[in-house]
Chain A
């Protein structure tokens, strides 16, 4: 995706117009049609070549493909690809928005694409985040210990996520086998990377603890506080560990 953006950014100077302006709106009005067609064709080729991607790599490619379609739309260039998938495009964007759980980088890209010509900087976005609470916008900027920042609906508070995690972690199957980031991703309805952050966060709060083995990286409900070291054989609630 970065390469596409760089390329987009890089291609602008070639189309600098007579009045020195570089924004897309001016391109359409004042630049030569020939140059526009060349740019459009180059973009279309990129879009079409991206259509055979596999699922995982495809997610990244899909993102840039949609971004480019959107960019083309915003400058008034309609390509067959765009026309056909316009309806599906926005639906995909919406679901992708939910799936991607809104890391600032995604919001930043979506916002800039929507605005079209008057782009904002990453700093602008971060500053805006700090104003949300002031203006009662039901969205918060959260930060994980790892440094990852996330934009969440206010209803998605830490306590709620932890409550969900606790329920999952105390189910019989989880007591026996633990939970991985991908398991949690499905149950919580978030991306695996995000689920892992939530699990690590729950671990740091003492709610979960980790199990690292050839089977992978899994988490269990933290039972250490419940183990009475003076009476190590006493049967407690989670008696599933008896044999």
Chain B
């Protein structure tokens, strides 16, 4: 089975037309669906949060069959993810895309679970601890993208589950939970 690092690639990854943006509507729809799923799957397992369209993204090329997705193709498939709320463009020029293999709401739920699992219901923790502390090791929170974490925390703040406060530096930013 062909792999990209530890990631098991699907068989159709070796099918050349997969890398050409298909013009026929029905064919295109299927192609888009497959690419959306593959991108989310790959990003989740590899913990990738941002895709730069002009950078080398291993999923967009297959050296075995010597095919690469064109820029147009990359933008088309990422835009499809954006339309579905599973990604966001980070700039107007569509050069960087934030991948939400968990939606922000899902991340918020994961944080609440982390709080419960570690008895942090009334505690104070730094934001950096949430993403790199010992308690988060082995969980999906470990290594989470800071932008996404902040968005999820803001969402929880709006719901009254916590309060965010600034410290003396970025490393000191913290939250007090009231779960």
Number of A residues contacting the other chain (C-beta, 8 Å)? Answer: 26
Of the residues B2, B10, B15, contact of A220 by C-beta under 8 Å: B15
On chain A, the residues within 8 Å of B170 by CB distance are: none
* Chain B CB within 8 A of A45 CB: no
Min distance, Cβ A210 to any Cβ of chain B, angstroms = 6
- Asked whether A242 and B37 contact (CB < 8 A) given A211-B20, A233-B1, the answer is no
Task: Establish whether residues B20 and A224, one from each chain, have CB atoms under 8 Å apart when the complex forms.
Answer: no
Whether B1 lies near A224 (C-beta < 8 A) is: no
Given contacts A213-B66, A243-B64, whether A223 and B15 have CB atoms under 8 Å apart is yes
Question: How far, in angstroms, from A92 to B95 measured CA to CA in the complex?
Answer: 58
Chain B positions 36 through 80: 1 when the CB is less than 8 Å from some CB of chain A, otherwise 0: 011000000000000000000000000010110000000000000
The smallest C-beta distance from A201 to any residue of chain B, in angstroms, reads 11
Report yes or no: B11 in contact with A209, Cβ–Cβ below 8 A: no
Q: Does A128 contact B (CB under 8 A)?
A: no
Question: Using Cβ atoms and an 8 Å threshold, which residues of chain A touch B13?
Answer: 241
Report if A38 contacts B (CB, 8 A).
Answer: no
Write out the residue numbers on chain B whose beta carbons fall within 8 Å of the beta carbon of A220. 15-17
Judging by beta carbons under 8 Å apart, are B14 and A241 in contact?
yes
Complex-state Cα separation, A178 to B15, whole angstroms: 10
The verdict on A227 contacting chain B, using a C-beta distance below 8 Å, is: yes
Number of A-B contacts (CB under 8 A): 77
CB neighbours (8 Å) of B37 from chain A are 229, 232
B23: chain A residues at CB < 8 Å are 203, 210
Taken residue by residue from 232 to 243, chain A's Cβ proximity to chain B (1 for < 8 Å, 0 otherwise) reads as 110110010111
Contact A213 B24, CB 8 Å, known A227-B30, A232-B10: no
A204 located at the interface, meaning its Cβ lies under 8 Å from any Cβ of chain B in the complex: yes
Is B17's CB under 8 angstroms from A209's CB? yes
Asked if B126 lies at the interface with its beta carbon under 8 angstroms from chain A, I say no
Residue of B13, B16, B22 contacting most chain A CB atoms (<10 Å): B16
CB pair A227 B16 closer than 8 Å: no
Q: Are B27 and A209 in touch, CB under 8 angstroms?
A: yes
A-B pairs, 8 with minimum CB distance:
A232-B10, A211-B16, A224-B30, A209-B17, A241-B14, A243-B2, A212-B20, A211-B17
